Structure 1
Amino acid sequence: MASGINLVLIKGSKGYDISELVSEIKWSGRKGSSSRSIDVTLLDDEDRSRAGIEVEKGHQCIFCYDGKELFRGIIMQTKQTHKKTMTFKAYDNGIYLANNKDTFEYSNKTVEQIFKDICKRFGIPYSKASSSNFKIPELTKSKTTAWDALCDAMSQVYSSTGVRHYIDSDKGSMRLQKRQDNIKQWVIETGANIISYTNTVSFEKVKTRIKAVSSEGKVVAEKKNTSLEKSIGIMQDIIQPDEELNKGQLNNLVAGTLKEKSTPERTLKIEALGITDVISGIGVCAIIPALGIKTTYYVDEDSHTFSDNYHKMTVTLNLANDAEYDRDWTKTQRGVSGGGNGNYKVGDVVNFKGGYHYVSSDAKSATGGKRSAGKAKITYINKGAKHPYHLVGGAYNNLDGNCNVYGWVDSDTFS
């Protein structure tokens, strides 16, 4: 059995610890997939009596590592070989979003309302649904999967407001979350935990100009990157924003969209020592001095392997173009008032006083030890949260000093 692994098989209302049979577990997920999965290799005898797993009976499993639950889901596939091993594959609750089809019709509903309705429709438990003020004018999906309908809803919110959502499963319940609320403090670095890497830069999806058009086809705002067009020519994209946005908000939306889409796609594939919190949907700071890389990326795909007292991970990262400015393009640029510190906005450089940071803006307890004082940059603001500001210290960017804050902080911890 690999050290630290605890695997429980659920048959009906009873749980059976089969950790001693485990040879290896691969736990993985990727952007665009409705669910995460595990592939488990067990020591086996040919009649399956040691584990007694039968997919037809809806057996489920719970996988924990070092005391922390990482996965809970239903076993969907088993396989046996002449080598006296048995493998099974299980998926979390997100599989029900991909395996249920229906016709979906919504009018003037938020993504939160659509998410809750779909979960209730198919009896899928949920524990969190981040609120959104934007109402999707119309969403009609005929004879398609629940996952496809939700992806369409999240895409419309992103196109109209710049706010990105994602869905995951935690302890058997689905969650709808804002992606910007889940920028973690984890750092992966050569000479520390990176084993190998491959870096790719691509201009294939770059856009040089953006037009916003109304439902009648009228251009209501546009912006272009003239210097980039001199190099690669015109590559245009069209968006249809929320019709309730004013002129200033439209200009912010178009400018923000162009800023992201005119940036080349940078993909970094890394093999590193495993960190269980580093999974698809979160952000990490990658530091590779040989490539001049010291910035934030989103995890698009991850695969964690647990075996022989060893945990390693392979992650595919995409540059977080939205980590340097406020993703909610419909907001004004005045900033957010913060507990006597005055008005701050994304991108401001502040002096962190030293202290603790948190992995999310609403976390109940701090993570890691005390962070050192010094210059830091505000990369996110979540107005009204317990810890409303996300700071990245000078140790992880081009600011002076060795401030190692990398997470959400209270409003009185900097000036």
Structure 2
Amino acid sequence: MIELFAIRSGTMYELVTESVTLQGQRYQAPRSIQANIITKQGSQTYYRVSEGDTVLFKWKGKELFRGIVFSRTPVEGKLTFTAYDMLQYLVKNQDVYVFSNQRADQILRRIGADFQIPMTSISNTGHVIKSLVFKNDTSLYDMILKALKETKRQTGRNYQIYSAKGKMGLRAWPDPEDVWVIESGVNLISYQYSTSIEETATRVKMRTSADEQGKNKKKGSKSEIVVIEQDKAGQNKYGILQHVETVTGQINQPQLQKRAKVRLAEKKGVKQEVKSIQALGIPELQSGLPIYLKIPEINVKKTYWIDQDKHEFSGVKHTMTIDVVEKNSMPKGDQA
């Protein structure tokens, strides 16, 4: 069922393959494969890959990956290699840029052209970013993520950088109407489950920065706003577990109170974690897509987003291991 080819100068060479592992992570470019191939059996030699070769991986006739070989390890008639899709060039390259009055898709197009990265369909992101400055050497991927984060902040729309058939693209984040199901007793093999109050809060305290209020007065002055939201039932059971935040920017007390209520709702109660979910392989599933997880024995019946995926192919067997998150939120910090 595995079809793995090396492409050189427009010619395809089929590789004698033992196994392929395909994996990726949400908001972490690129996707990659690691393949184990046979290069010699007795007097018979087979095609081997070199760094810079393009490789194409198909499963049951459907293309799942196309990328560039970056590393190899040959051992006694066999060879293990790792290849990355085109988003690798966004991660490996750094530069300084100043962008003025450009949309995120225009920024992506300029970067792609400057670094000779082949491109496919690029969606118009709509929002014009007045200024985006990178004075220090920054990875191209982090630049684009920052532009996409600014776009989402202004429009509420989320976009995904992807690689398909050896070309980089940009699309609205996939949110399919039909969601694949992983279900206990059907296609679920194993999982790890835990509960914890390590990250739980029974009280949230939020304050504004005095400087941000424009008064430049000491703490405790009228320029500082402090609000508290409490989970009394949680305090009776777990004690006081206080989460504190200092909020920057112009904000009034009702707005701060609302924000504290939202944060308490996020952090109250026992937290469940389901990870290392191993299941029968679904080739279409990859990080960033929704999945409905149904495990009645731990009372889990809901939709999650795939954070990491790892697909393993050997012979006619395909299994996958995924980690999931409840919300498809963008990473915090300068990287986005």
Q: Same fold (TM over 0.5)?
A: yes
The C-alpha deviation readout for 1:303-324, integer Å capped at 9, x for no partner, is 10111210000111112378xx
- On the 8 A contact 1:110/1:134 being kept in 2, the answer is yes
The C-alpha deviation readout for 1:210-257, integer Å capped at 9, x for no partner, is 97989x72399998643278555432446668x9xx99xx79x95897
Matched, 1:27 2:32: no
Partner SS for 1:320: coil
Query: Could you tell me how far apart the structure 2 residues matched to 1:100 and 1:234 are?
Result: 42
Equivalent residue in structure 1 for 2:142, among 148, 157, 178: 148
The C-alpha deviation readout for 1:292-349, integer Å capped at 9, x for no partner, is 0000111111110111210000111112378xxxx9xxxxxxxxxxxxxxxxxxxxxx
- On the 8 A contact 1:188/1:285 being kept in 2, the answer is yes
Query: Could you tell me how far apart the structure 2 residues matched to 1:70 and 1:53 are?
Result: 19
Amino acid at match of 1:153: A
Which residue is 2:9 aligned to? 12
Query: Could you tell me how far apart the structure 1 residues matched to 2:284 and 2:139 are?
Result: 29
Which residue is 1:172 aligned to? 166
The alpha-carbon distance between structure 1 residues 77 and 210, as it changes in their structure 2 partners (threshold 3 A), is farther
Give the RMSD, CA atoms, in angstroms: 3.8
Which residue is 1:128 aligned to? 122
Matched, 1:235 2:243: yes
The alpha-carbon distance between structure 1 residues 221 and 267, as it changes in their structure 2 partners (threshold 3 A), is farther
The C-alpha deviation readout for 1:363-402, integer Å capped at 9, x for no partner, is xxxxxxxxxxxxxxxxxxxxxxxxxxxxxxxxxxxxxxxx
Amino acid at match of 1:298: W
Matched, 1:53 2:49: yes
- On the 8 A contact 1:225/1:262 being kept in 2, the answer is no
Which residue is 1:353 aligned to? none
- On the 8 A contact 1:201/1:267 being kept in 2, the answer is no
Which residue is 2:317 aligned to? 310
The C-alpha deviation readout for 1:57-114, integer Å capped at 9, x for no partner, is x2111111112110000011111113x3211111000100011110122345433332
TM-score, normalization by structure 1: 0.63
The alpha-carbon distance between structure 1 residues 10 and 222, as it changes in their structure 2 partners (threshold 3 A), is farther
Gap regions ≥5 residues in structure 2: 214-222, 331-336
Equivalent residue in structure 2 for 1:181, among 169, 175, 179: 175
Amino acid at match of 2:33: I
Partner SS for 2:46: coil
Indicate the structure whose relative CO is greater, using CA pairs within 8 Å and at least 6 residues apart.
2
Partner SS for 2:175: helix
**1:167, CA displacement in angstroms?**
2.0
**1:43, CA displacement in angstroms?**
1.4
**1:171, CA displacement in angstroms?**
1.5
Which residue is 2:220 aligned to? none
Gap regions ≥5 residues in structure 1: 328-415
Equivalent residue in structure 2 for 1:98, among 91, 95, 98: 91
Amino acid at match of 2:306: V
Matched, 1:43 2:48: no
Amino acid at match of 1:11: R
Which residue is 1:258 aligned to? 263
**1:52, CA displacement in angstroms?**
3.3
Partner SS for 2:40: coil
Structure showing greater Rg: 2
Partner SS for 1:8: strand
Query: Could you tell me how far apart the structure 2 residues matched to 1:102 and 1:48 are?
Result: 47
**1:199, CA displacement in angstroms?**
2.0
Which residue is 1:273 aligned to? 280
Q: Which structure has the highest strand share of the two? A: 2
Partner SS for 1:181: coil
